[in-house]
Structure 1
Amino acid sequence: MDKNIDQNKERVLLTFAGNSDPTRNNYDGPMLHICRYYRPEKIYLVLTSEMQKRNENKIYEKAIKESLTDYNPIFEYINTDINDAHLFDIYFNKINETFNKIKLEHPNAEVLVNVTSGTVQIISNLVMYIVDAVNINIIPVQVESPEGKGNTSKVVNDNYKVNDEKENNFDNIEEFGRNRIIFPDLRQYSRLLAKNQIKELLKKYEYLTCLELLKRDIFQENSKLNGLLNFANDRRHLKGLKSNGKLKSLNDKKFDKFYYYSRNETNENKVKEWYKIVDYFALANIKQKSGDIAGYTIMLEPLIVNIYLSILRDVLGKKLSDLFSEKRKEEEFSYKTDILKIKKYDGLKEKIEDELNKVLKDSIFVSNKVLIAVIKYFIEKDNRATLKKMDLNDFIDFSETLSKIKEVRNMIAHSLKTINRDDFNSEAKVGIDTVNSKIINFFKKYYTDFGYKESMVYVYDEINKIANEILETEK
């Protein structure tokens, strides 16, 4: 019994009738031979006009039931009325209808498909369907001729005598008969097509579409690849620590470097803000790499605000609630100006108003310009106290580069067209690579002591690399 066949499963056979059926040259034809060894519970027998005429006395059904006396399958005859059996495209609709009928009537069955009986055109149509089939458990079955080569003997004719052929069939004699069934790996064509499609989709980080292709379950390492890409898709949709479950189930140490934040952490509140910033930038980065410049630009706006908040909190060690009023919504903090708090710091209100070039209003959302002014204030103050946690000129250069993103964001908001890399560079007067370099250098300089590694920014590229390596093992 071949490893592809499950003895305990429901099993049906789809077969055309060919010139070697039911028997030929004193041996089983392909249809009878498949039934002899694998005994499908139901046989969908597809007949061209020529074979319909030959089957007027049900010779195929009789030959099977008389040769295999302890076997009584259900037959369903599918008469196609096809006269032009030499045409390739004439079979498509009938084959598709038959497979759909089987999927409806036997959704959980193993579907044996005879790819030996019939014309070259019939077999080609069946192979093409099998290669691209989804939501059906198809097992293609090939039957060798007794001589192990093409048949040259006289074909079955309209005078076929079931009883005579049964008596002269060597396959009915135990010492002469042998199993001539082969299970060709037709899915190798499907794997090649799917591999190439997935590789192209990975370049664009389109994990959800990759997962749709993997539903065909044609790869040996399908579960591992599926788990890895499910993780990447969840992580890309900001599911945080929940995404880690997709990797844990695989129990593969090779994936340890991909876990969101920590393999063993389960409390989302314990994920540090600096890490969330890095992870969010990693997402923005793959948007620009895949050509979604508008998406990249839109993501940078909240990222920049959070970087400035992180500078105050993580780099300069300031408590944000001492500076601003906090507004909590769906586990997210936003901040509003609080003039009473700001006035507690000598000269801070004046510093902010100088940056804004207007009077500071109370209870408005804290803008980038407000944050920049506050950061400059504390850098200057700390420098005077010889703390020097951040160089003022470095911060000015950094903030001036990031401020140019606003121009691109305004262009997107007022434009009816998509933007490309050249549009971004032209409007911002600074290249995307420069913006990215500034942000990554900031991470290196100020987050490394917290546990930052540059691989965090490129985690999706590392995932793609491993996914491609898994695909390369599939033949």
Structure 2
Amino acid sequence: MEIIMNQTILFTPVGGTDPISLNNYHDGSILHICRFYKPDKVILYMSKEMLDFQEKDDRYRYCLDRLAKMQDRPMVYEIIERRELTRVHEFDYFYEDFRKVISCIYETMDESDTLLLNVSSGTPAMKSGLLVLQTLGEFPAKVIQVATPVGKLNEQVHEGYDVETLWELDEDNQEGAQNRCKEIQCPTLSKIKKEEIIKKHIFVYDYQAALDVTDSLPAEQTAQYRDLIYLAARRVLLDFVNVDKTIQKTNFQCLPVRSSSQRKYFEYALTIDIRLKRGEYVDFIRSITPIVVDLFEMILKKQCGIKVDDYCDQYKRAGQWKRMWSAKKLNGTEAGDVLNSHYQKVGKRFEAKDVYSEHLKILTDHFSSDTRLKQLMEDLRNVESNIRNLAAHEIVSVTDETIKNLTGFYGRDIMSKIRELFGYTEISIRKEYWDSYDEMNRKILEQMSNE
């Protein structure tokens, strides 16, 4: 038995304007699709009314035969008869029946074959049945819609229908006739569901989860937005190498602070805010100490003119460069005297080791006269001291109430103080910069809507 490959098969209900419209002398949808897609096989689904017309003058096969002869190609037909079908408005019937029919068609096809579905012929219930089948995604096909020649609804006229005369008058038989077919993209239910899940992940700033779901869809379906979600996933990890590469690739700029020497601090602060919004209170607590140290150091430089590195030595630990206070560089300086004096007053000795936020606060208290700044630093230093060890060394449930009980501040209050402290650094931060993740989310969702 010869196996025929690369077959194009058209399944189509038959409607009132098929095969040629008596109203405008142009192809009906079935004939027009056959004219431009040249299917090898046409499967005609006929209700009682359409079967009556077919048996009266063989109008459907007659026009298809004339077209095949004009195009000098073979074309075979199959008629699916539904003589009992008179209530052509019932959606449930067509959905179930079409599903059975198309399932049988698929059993005769191989991977090289293409199925076309005509959604412009038949009753509204028939068209809807085919569209819903495509939405469910069980039977992949090209869904074809055919526009009317005048761009408005065709009126169905059957009185005085002379198929042979109409074929001769059919304006679409003229050379250069306009192709009114359009392939419509019918998203599958699976795609719709997955994209809703992606959006939900984006709304809660879980970009890796959004990316994982995105990558479970075919690449051609996510080309409009996949790179943007990848960018967001790398951004929240502070992976600036891949962030920069993706920005260059997509021309999608989402970082409000772009100076490489400053953005790491601000972007880190934004990730702290995201952890708070996500209710990840343990991670929120753990992330406070690094930003407090960096902020205090930048403030000391901006407000007091003291560069901490001028009083430190560099050393390598575990393959990474670290720094510690240099007793030699501090000796004989006002900064060194301030640190030594402070610890002597409380019966301790200043040890020139790692740089801590406590040291930076002591220096700022001495060199700055800004009482608001000093209070902010005092509050954050106490927060850091009270909750740092809790998150790091004890297995406990950490909630916003836990943070409030230990520090006197809710997470949002702590974040507000961090934001305010940025105003004392040399980094220029506008109020709207703090909403840059939400703005990025909005643009990603916009791209998803534009696909």
With structure 1 as the length reference, what TM-score do the two structures score? 0.61
1:63-462 equivalences under 5 Å are: 64-69=64-69, 70-72=71-73, 86=93, 88-89=95-96, 91-92=98-99, 95=102, 104-105=111-112, 112-117=116-121, 122-130=126-134, 138-142=142-146, 148-149=153-154, 151=156, 153=158, 168=164, 170-175=166-171, 181=180, 183=182, 202-207=202-207, 209=210, 212=214, 223=224, 229-249=229-249, 258=255, 261-262=258-259, 271-272=260-261, 274-308=262-296, 310=298, 316-319=306-309, 322=312, 325-327=315-317, 329=319, 333-334=321-322, 345=336, 348=339, 366=354, 371-379=356-364, 383=367, 394-406=376-388, 409-410=391-392, 414-415=395-396, 421-426=400-405, 428-448=407-427, 451-462=428-439
Return the alpha-carbon distance in structure 2 between the equivalents of residues 238 and 125 of structure 1: 48
Q: Is the 8 A contact 2:339 2:362 kept in 1?
A: yes
Q: CA deviation at 1:457?
A: 3.2
Return the alpha-carbon distance in structure 1 between the equivalents of residues 80 and 287 of structure 2: 60
SS in 2 for 1:141: strand
Q: Is the 8 A contact 2:380 2:417 kept in 1?
A: yes
Q: CA deviation at 1:436?
A: 0.9
Q: CA deviation at 1:67?
A: 2.5
Amino acid at match of 1:396: E
Return the alpha-carbon distance in structure 2 between the equivalents of residues 310 and 341 of structure 1: 20
Any idea what the Cα deviations from partners look like across 1:249-283, whole Å, max 9, x if unmatched?
Answer: 555xxx66746625xxxxxxxx21x4312111112
Amino acid at match of 1:318: V
Give the aligned length. Answer: 417
Return the alpha-carbon distance in structure 1 between the equivalents of residues 118 and 62 of structure 2: 19
SS in 2 for 1:319: helix
Aligned equivalent of 1:31 = 30
Q: Please, what is the CA RMSD of the aligned residues?
A: 6.0
Q: Is the 8 A contact 2:172 2:178 kept in 1?
A: no
Task: Note closer, same or farther for the CA distance 1:468–1:88 as it changes in structure 2 (3 Å cut).
Answer: closer
Task: Note closer, same or farther for the CA distance 1:297–1:466 as it changes in structure 2 (3 Å cut).
Answer: same
Amino acid at match of 2:360: I
Q: Is the 8 A contact 1:13 1:40 kept in 2?
A: no
Task: Please say which of residues 14-23 and 293-302 is displaced more in the overlay.
Answer: 14-23
Any idea what the Cα deviations from partners look like across 1:438-469, whole Å, max 9, x if unmatched?
Answer: 11111111234xx4444443321232355567
Return the alpha-carbon distance in structure 2 between the equivalents of residues 45 and 361 of structure 1: 89
SS in 1 for 2:117: strand
Q: Is the 8 A contact 1:46 1:77 kept in 2?
A: yes
1:55-70 equivalences under 5 Å are: 64-69=64-69, 70=71
Q: Is the 8 A contact 2:313 2:324 kept in 1?
A: no
Task: Note closer, same or farther for the CA distance 1:290–1:148 as it changes in structure 2 (3 Å cut).
Answer: same
SS in 2 for 1:457: helix
Return the alpha-carbon distance in structure 2 between the equivalents of residues 21 and 125 of structure 1: 19
Amino acid at match of 1:39: Y
Amino acid at match of 2:410: G
Return the alpha-carbon distance in structure 2 between the equivalents of residues 388 and 300 of structure 1: 23
Q: CA deviation at 1:35?
A: 0.9
Return the alpha-carbon distance in structure 2 between the equivalents of residues 258 and 98 of structure 1: 53
Q: Is the 8 A contact 1:243 1:260 kept in 2?
A: no
Q: CA deviation at 1:285?
A: 1.2
Return the alpha-carbon distance in structure 2 between the equivalents of residues 278 and 170 of structure 1: 73
Q: CA deviation at 1:319?
A: 1.3
Q: CA deviation at 1:306?
A: 4.1
Q: Is the 8 A contact 1:143 1:181 kept in 2?
A: yes
Return the alpha-carbon distance in structure 1 between the equivalents of residues 432 and 389 of structure 2: 30
Q: Is the 8 A contact 2:119 2:145 kept in 1?
A: yes
Aligned equivalent of 1:266 = none
Amino acid at match of 2:395: H
Return the alpha-carbon distance in structure 1 between the equivalents of residues 153 and 186 of structure 2: 23
SS in 1 for 2:409: coil
SS in 1 for 2:120: coil
- For structure 2, list consecutive stretches of 5 or more residues without a partner in the other structure: 1-5, 86-91
Any idea what the Cα deviations from partners look like across 1:289-346, whole Å, max 9, x if unmatched?
Answer: 24444443343344345445555677630217825644364xx644578889888956
Return the alpha-carbon distance in structure 1 between the equivalents of residues 104 and 310 of structure 2: 66
Q: CA deviation at 1:28?
A: 5.5
Return the alpha-carbon distance in structure 1 between the equivalents of residues 309 and 430 of structure 2: 26
Return the alpha-carbon distance in structure 1 between the equivalents of residues 240 and 140 of structure 2: 35
Q: Is the 8 A contact 2:31 2:64 kept in 1?
A: yes
Return the alpha-carbon distance in structure 1 between the equivalents of residues 384 and 125 of structure 2: 63
Aligned equivalent of 2:11 = 15
The partner residue of 2:441 within 464, 468, 472 is: 464
Identity of aligned residues (%): 15
Q: CA deviation at 1:435?
A: 0.6
